[in-house]
Amino acid sequence: MHRDTKLTRYGRGTLPSAANPGILRASTILHGSVAALKETKAKREDDDSVLSYGRRGTTTAHALADAIRDLEGGDGCFLYPSGVAAIAGVLGAFLRPGDHVLLIEDVFHHTLTYCEQHLKSMGISMSIFPWDTTDLTAFIRPETKLAVLEAPTSNTLRTPDLPALCESAHAHGVVTATDNTYGSGWHYRPLELGSDISMISGTKYLSGHADTMMGAVVAKGDCVAALRHHTHLGGQLLAPDEAYACLRGMRTLSLRMERHEANGLAIARWLDERREVQRVWHPALPGTPGHDTWTRDASGTNGLVSLRLCDGIDAEAFVDALDLFPVGSSWGGFESLAILLPPSSGSAPDERPQVRLHAGLEHIDDLIADLELALENVA
C-alpha cells in the first residue's frame, strides 16, 4: 500500500469505527482483579500498545506512535512533549558519566547546547566532526557511545553521507541517532539508510499547523528496549490532546509536503538568480554541498531555504521588510516564516547563511512578489 493511502488509515479500528481515533484522557486504567493488573503490567514490558496507565500513553498516543513507527520503518516509537525532549531522551538513554558523544557540524543548535550545558556537567564529553566526514574512525574514542547525525544539517542544509557515517560508527560499536525533522517521516528515511534511531520534532511537519508541540523517537533492533526503559523511567509521554492533533495533521502530510516542496524550490531558484543574493542553500540546488548525496538518498525537499545577501545589504532590514514571512521560531506549519540566523563562527563568511525562510502553503506568486518588494526596499 502507498504511504499516501496509509496516512488515511492509521489508527482506524474494525468497522464500524470513527475515521480518526478519539481522544482518550485517562490516568488510572481500572482492572477487575489483582491478577488482571499483573497481566497488563507483564504484557506492556514489550508491547507498547497495551493500555495500562496514563503515563504509558492511552489509545490516542498509541495510534500516533504506531503511525510514525510505520512511516519511519522502525521496530518501536516513543513520544515526547517536544522535539528537544525527544533528543534529550535519546542522549539520556545511551550516555553515562565518562562516555563521549559525537555531533555532526551544524547540528540543531539546542542539541549542541544540551551537550555543552548539561551533559558536560554530568561528566559526558562531546566533540564535533565536519559534516562531509565519511569515516568516523578518526573521531571515535574508546569511550564514544553515540553519534548524533542530522541530514541535511540545520542551517546550511548540507547533506552528509549517512550510510557511510553509520557503517563506520557501527564498526566501532557506536550507536547512531539521526535528527530527521527535515524529512519528518516523508522525504528521508534514516533507519533504512543505516541509522539505529530517528528523532523527529513533530511540532514541525507531522503536526503541520503551528499549534502542537511534540517529539518522536523511532528505533530499530536492540535500541528499542533501551529507549523504552529510559522513556518510562523518566515519565515521558505525549498528552492525548496533543497526540490527537498530531495524527489529525498527519492525514494531509503528503499533500502539504508537495506544496511546501514546490514553494521552497521555486523560492530557492528565484533567489539564486537575484543580484542582491550572494548565496542560497537548498538541498535540491546543485550548488549546495551534499546535493548529490541528497539526490541519492532522499525523495524530495521541504519548505526550508537559507540565504546570504550581498555585502552591504542589511539582512535584518530585509527580514523586517517582508510581509508574508513574519518572524518566528520553528517551521513546518502551514504558514511562511523568516528568521535571522545567529552569526556562526568558524566557517568562512560565505559559508554562513544569514536568513532562513520557511515556505508555507500560500500561492507562490504572492510569496515571490513579497520577496521581490523586500529586496528592492533594502538593496
Rounded CA separation 331/325 (Å): 11
**Sequence-ordered list of residues with C-beta below 8 angstroms from that of 146, at least 6 positions apart, any chain:** 90, 91, 94, 95, 99, 101, 102, 174, 175, 176, 177
Contact 195, 151 (CB under 8 A): no
Query: Which parts of 115-144 interact with ligand PLP (CB under 6 A)?
Result: none
Residue 201 touching ligand PLP (CB under 6 A): yes
Termini Cα distance of the chain: 51
Of the two residues 213 and 223, which places its CB atom closer to ligand PLP in the complex? 213
In the sheet that holds 304-309, the strands lie side by side as 277-281, 304-309, 355-358, 337-340
In eight-state DSSP terms, residue 138 is G
Of the two residues 112 and 364, which places its CB atom closer to ligand PLP in the complex? 112
Cα dist. 128→165, 196, 310 in Å? Answer: 13, 19, 29
Rounded CA separation 88/94 (Å): 10
Of the two residues 74 and 152, which places its CB atom closer to ligand PLP in the complex? 152
Of the two residues 140 and 339, which places its CB atom closer to ligand PLP in the complex? 339
Residue 181 touching ligand PLP (CB under 6 A): yes
Rounded CA separation 11/64 (Å): 7
Stretch that binds ligand PLP, among 26-34, 160-168, 196-204, 250-258 (CB under 6 A): 196-204
Stretch that binds ligand PLP, among 32-40, 129-137, 197-205, 258-266 (CB under 6 A): 197-205
Contact 339, 287 (CB under 8 A): no
**Neighbour count for residue 211 (Cβ, 10 Å):** 12
Of the two residues 154 and 288, which places its CB atom closer to ligand PLP in the complex? 154
Rounded CA separation 62/67 (Å): 9
Query: Which parts of 31-60 interact with ligand PLP (CB under 6 A)?
Result: none
Site string for ligand PLP, 141-180 (x = CB under 6 A): -------------x------------------------x-
Query: Which parts of 77-96 interact with ligand PLP (CB under 6 A)?
Result: 82-84
Rounded CA separation 168/163 (Å): 9
Of the two residues 105 and 370, which places its CB atom closer to ligand PLP in the complex? 105
Q: Cβ of residue 175: shortest distance to ligand PLP, in angstroms?
A: 18
Q: Cβ of residue 179: shortest distance to ligand PLP, in angstroms?
A: 5
Q: Cβ of residue 147: shortest distance to ligand PLP, in angstroms?
A: 16
Site string for ligand PLP, 203-222 (x = CB under 6 A): xx--------x-x-------
Q: Cβ of residue 201: shortest distance to ligand PLP, in angstroms?
A: 3
- Which residues contact ligand PLP (rule: CB under 6 A)? 82-84, 108, 154, 179, 181, 201, 203-204, 213, 215, 330
